[in-house]
Every structure is written in structure tokens, then in C-alpha cells.
Structure 1
């Protein structure tokens, strides 16, 4: 990665402005109209713009809210998830009454509460290699608020192939990053991070946690980038990675340039393979493991040893009576020794024959079994509780 030029890039506006704004729109956007260098023409460009937002979650929520408030004329929202109560801590576009609804339906309704005149299109599904190129070609700009590496690289590669500008953001625990990729006008994501990381190389929000307000900080920065690109004002984060650490309140900027040795993206083959490894909503990621279903577990609950690999606070919400607690992090650190310690602490002189490991839905228990599988003593069977404690609680 070479050192970037110190000159900040500027680009012409992405879209031509609509012919005029109504008196109601002039009143609504009056604070924009008085901005030097932005004014009426900038607002007319926003009204003409068509934007695709990938994800209606932590980052998508502030992005969608602020683009709608700013007056972007057409917003397409793509997401395959439903609203859960644990989303509401950070996904501010949704409300308690939306729990159980599709996120795209909830987000679209929120946009129309804010501005009934915005055209909102929803896709209840994922960005895929099959639809990415058409979607990127059909919009002036894309903002990626996805929660997995595969989709982020798919977005980058589609942008590079089609030429559509892409605003990218990511969050983890107390930190966030933002950058802007404009094909032909600076480096892309693969110039900064050439290879697609393994799907489980970074814990997800459920495992690692995320500070709710961080989503607002990073998502607002992404929306700002979109407005700058649409209107041709300011200097976008092209060749720059904005980094924010919430605990220290510090911002820093990493400059980067195109890698002359990086192969150009010619198709979506690599991204497609990465996307195929990401499970659909409601399924447990990870390798295939030996599972026990709820019916068998209920029938044999007194004959097996149950190990809960969730965090302390999750057990406060619900726990299987008699289960032992061993957080997944301990298994990652110490493997079989961690499990043996818990079993020994329970007064067992030898490993039980049948151990059932569970988490919330099955993803973490599958990972735990993968880690432990190479060290299992002869005669011991490790199984993951299919559907986790969610499935167990649903049987009550």
C-alpha cells in the first residue's frame, strides 16, 4: 500500500438536478438552501438521486433516516432479516411494535412517516451475486451497511465492475470505520484489504457486542459521504479510511492508494464463493456437527450433561435447569481443558458419555464442538442442541 497524495479529492455531482422543488419542499429544506456552495441546486440534486442501502440494521438505520430527512428522492432498502428486541438498542429506525416484522417493511414505513413523498423500494432478501450487478447499475449510489465480510466484498466487486460509487462502513464493539470507493477515481476496498477474511474471524454483534450510539456516529458519516457525492460538494473519503474510537473519542484517518499489483476484479466468482459460506437468517453458521433435536433432548434431558456456552448476561434471561456454564471464549482459549475443568468442578471424576452443548440458536455451540472435536476422549459424544435455547424455550 503506497502513500497517498496529500491533496483531497473532489468530484463532480453524481446526478443532474430535478427541474424544480415545490413550495412545501422549499420550506422543508430551507436550512439546506442557505448553505454556501449547496443551496437550491444541491437540494434539487438530492431529490433526483436514487440510492441503494444494503442493510436496515445498525448502520442502515441512521443512513436511511438521514438520507430520507435530507430529501433523497428514491431509496431502495435490501435486507433479509426481521426485527428482534435486541436490535432496538441501536437500530433506531425500528420500534418495539415492529418486533417480528421484516426490517425492510419497518424501515419503509419509517421513511414514509418522515416524508410520504419519497419513493421507497424494498427487497426482502440478500444482496447476491445474481442480483448485485443489476441493482448497482440501477442506482446512482450504494451504501453498504452489511454485517458480514462476504457481502462487503460482493458490494466492492459489483461497484468495480459496474462503476457505481460505494460508501462503506463497519462497526465493532466501540470502534467504527468509514470509506468511500469510486471506481476510476481512487482505490477500492481490495486495495486496502485484499483478501476476504474467514466468516468467523471476527465475532458478530451478538457475541462481541456493539455500543448502540456508535451506529449513529458511523452511519451519519456514511450519509454525509452520500450527500457530498450526490451534490458534488466537499471532499469524499476517497483514498482515506476514517477511524473512530468511541471510548477515547478520537478520530484518525488512514490514507491509502491503489495497489498497482492488485488484479482487477473481472467477475463475482470469489465473492460468490464467500457468500455461499454465509448461512441464511435463522440457520446456524459453521460446519456440520452432530446435533440433538429438541424432541430427543426432552426425552433424554436427565441422561445428558448440558453445557451452556453463552455469556453470563444471557443466562440471566433464560437457562436450562442443571446446565453447566462455560463461555465460548474459554473454549477458544483452552479447548478441552476448559470443558474438563467445568466437568471436574461439578464433581465428575470422568467425562460423561453424552454431552449436549448449547447457545442461543446453535451457531456458537457448533463452533465449540468444532474446537473440541480433536480432543474428545474415546466413548464421549459431543452434540449441539439444534436451535439452541430458543428452540428449547419454544417447546414450553
Structure 2
């Protein structure tokens, strides 16, 4: 009664409403800029069971906007660090941390154990994966996205409403919409958008009207302007997803997003022969991959530098997270250079490897 007294005295929530919050199960995918405020406010609100999926570690550049973490968390798994912080914020709830990437092989299993899915990711392949898994398990998605100074919020697959594919049936081309590590983002923006996502989660649990289903709410932090776009449901898009149910786990979502690339782990890469490692990050990006013999060709110049790449070697590219290196591989493939790979999880995976094999 003391912890949730400000909720309970609201006649639209009361004890019954607070009990609904305490009994709810919410899975948050991504404990980054969007996931941090979502997790913090859901934990504070008393959501009884919270799951966190994130395979990344805390880096110094995260601290500008990922408010669950501090300097003492650098190098820790985000999901674990987030769980520790949330457990301290509210020790009456259950928090589960899953330190792995969401994949077609595990998505249906995870989704089946939760009531609501929160999309806090920053890449298109995972968004389409979340959408399809939610349709197959009949779970609502609370969606958020950020770009520089602008953000979006919506709720998909809720009460027979439209899905993410109804809004974006076709993935963007390979050079469209880079992620935050490439173009930057205002640190406050994910806090605003993530908090709005948390608000939509609570509205769904409490059964409030005017949930953002069938609507895309857009916000500009520079101008403080907002507008809303109506989203129409496409039965065709739902049927496409459902038709692939039997072989869902065999799907490869990078191909769905026009990124027909071969990914390998750093362990697999180092086992190959005649290797050429290429760092496609910008020249000033940190951390440096000093323990890995490589050359640097930024993605922004790779088309102009194709002549400098030794095509007789096995070409293995990496970046910060694996997104830009997949784009780089696709550029080479367009030039009929097929002996090329992208390292899964980029420099993070490389650093983790050399920490273990020092």
C-alpha cells in the first residue's frame, strides 16, 4: 500500500488496477536507449514479472542516454546490469535477464511466456522478427523508434489491430536509415520515447481506451511538434506471416531486410585461412581493434576503395554492432565478390574474444 499509494488513490487504477500491474508479464527486447526508461518505469510501477533480452555490454558511449547504467557497469552485460538496478529499485517484483540475441529459434518460446512485448531495438531485421513472432503468439507489441532528434511510438497487433508490416510492408534499402552509432542521437530523446512506451504498456494492462493501436505518434524534440499517422490493417500481411508458421525457425531475417549476407562469429573467422579483416567503422571510432591484424576502410568510402581490397583473400568485415559490416558485405556481393563475411556483434564480440584468449 505504501509503495503504490499514488497509484491506488487514482480512482482509474485503485487496488484492482495495481493488482493487474503486479500480475502482468512484460518482455522488453533491448536494454539500450529505449529499453532503459521503459524498464525503469515499469519496475517502479510494479509490473510483477519483467523479462530483459539483450546480448550487448555496457560501453562508455552508452552512458549519454542509457540511464540504468553508470561507470561501474562498464564492460558488464546490459541485461545483468539492468536486472541488478531494477531489483534495487523494486525488490517486490521478478526480473529475468536473458543475455542473448533474439532469434527465430528462441522468439516463440520467449514470447509465449509474456503478456506484452516491448520493442526497444535499433535495427530492422529484429523489428520484423518481433512482429512476426508476436503475430504467431498473438501478443501485442509496444513499438518505439528514434532517429537523431525524432521519435515514434505505436502499438501493434493489439485487439485485432494492424501490425508493423502493415505500416512498413517493405524493408528499407541497404543504405537507408543508419543506426544511432552512425548518425548520433539526442540523449534525452530515447528517454521521452521510452517513457511513452512504458505509458502504453500500462494503458494496455489497465484496459484504458485510446491505446496507440492503428496510430503512429511522431515527436520532434527540436521543435516540440507532434503529429499522428493513421495505420490501416493489411490482412494480407498477417496471412503472409501465418503461412510461414511451420518453418518460422528456419527463416533468416537478414535476408528479409535485403541484407543477404553471411555472418560468422569471431571464433569462426579466426579459423579460416588467408584472411583479410576490414574495419568499416569511421576512422575516429573507438575502441580500436589493436589485437586484430586488419585494415580500415570506412563504409562511407568502400565503393571507392574496392580496388584496394585483395579479392583472393577471405574478406571478413566488422563494425560496432554488425549492421554496417553487413551493408559492406552486400556492396561487395553486388560486385560479384562472394568470399566475404560479417562478424556477428562486431567490435564487442572481438573485444570479448581477446579478453578470454589473452
Q: Establish whether TM, by shorter chain, passes 0.5.
A: yes
- Give, in whole Å, the separation in 1 of the partners of 2:178 and 2:199: 28
Are 2:193 and 1:215 aligned? no
The structure 2 residue matched to 1:235, chosen from 210, 215, 220, is: 210
- Give, in whole Å, the separation in 1 of the partners of 2:113 and 2:335: 52
Match of 1:275 in 2: 253
Q: TM-score, normalised by structure 2?
A: 0.76
- Give, in whole Å, the separation in 1 of the partners of 2:113 and 2:147: 31
**Map 1:263-342 → 2, pairs under 5 A:** 263-264=238-239, 265-266=241-242, 267-268=244-245, 269=247, 273-275=251-253, 286-287=261-262, 310-311=281-282, 313-314=284-285, 327-331=298-302, 335-336=303-304
SS in 2 for 1:212: coil
- Give, in whole Å, the separation in 2 of the partners of 1:31 and 1:148: 37
Are 2:157 and 1:182 aligned? yes
Does structure 1 conserve the Cα–Cα contact (< 8 Å) formed by 2:151 and 2:189?
yes
Does structure 2 conserve the Cα–Cα contact (< 8 Å) formed by 1:166 and 1:180?
yes
Does structure 2 conserve the Cα–Cα contact (< 8 Å) formed by 1:308 and 1:324?
yes
Are 2:177 and 1:202 aligned? yes
Cα distance, 1:70–1:261 mapped onto 2, change above 3 Å: same
Are 2:67 and 1:89 aligned? no
Cα distance, 1:239–1:383 mapped onto 2, change above 3 Å: closer
Match of 1:56 in 2: 31
The structure 1 residue matched to 2:82, chosen from 80, 102, 107, is: 107
- Give, in whole Å, the separation in 2 of the partners of 1:307 and 1:171: 29
**Map 1:86-165 → 2, pairs under 5 A:** 86-165=61-140
Match of 1:12 in 2: none
SS in 2 for 1:121: strand
- Give, in whole Å, the separation in 2 of the partners of 1:30 and 1:84: 37
For structure 1, which runs of at least 5 residues remain unmatched after alignment?
1-25, 279-284, 298-303, 344-350, 377-381
Q: Which has the higher contact order (CA 8 A, sep 6+)?
A: 1
- Give, in whole Å, the separation in 2 of the partners of 1:35 and 1:227: 14
Does structure 2 conserve the Cα–Cα contact (< 8 Å) formed by 1:309 and 1:357?
no
- Give, in whole Å, the separation in 1 of the partners of 2:114 and 2:342: 43
Cα distance, 1:360–1:136 mapped onto 2, change above 3 Å: closer
- Give, in whole Å, the separation in 2 of the partners of 1:131 and 1:287: 20
Q: TM-score, normalised by structure 1?
A: 0.70
Cα distance, 1:67–1:272 mapped onto 2, change above 3 Å: farther
Deviates more, 1:43-52 or 1:361-370: 361-370
- Give, in whole Å, the separation in 1 of the partners of 2:232 and 2:161: 7
Match of 1:346 in 2: none
SS in 1 for 2:6: helix
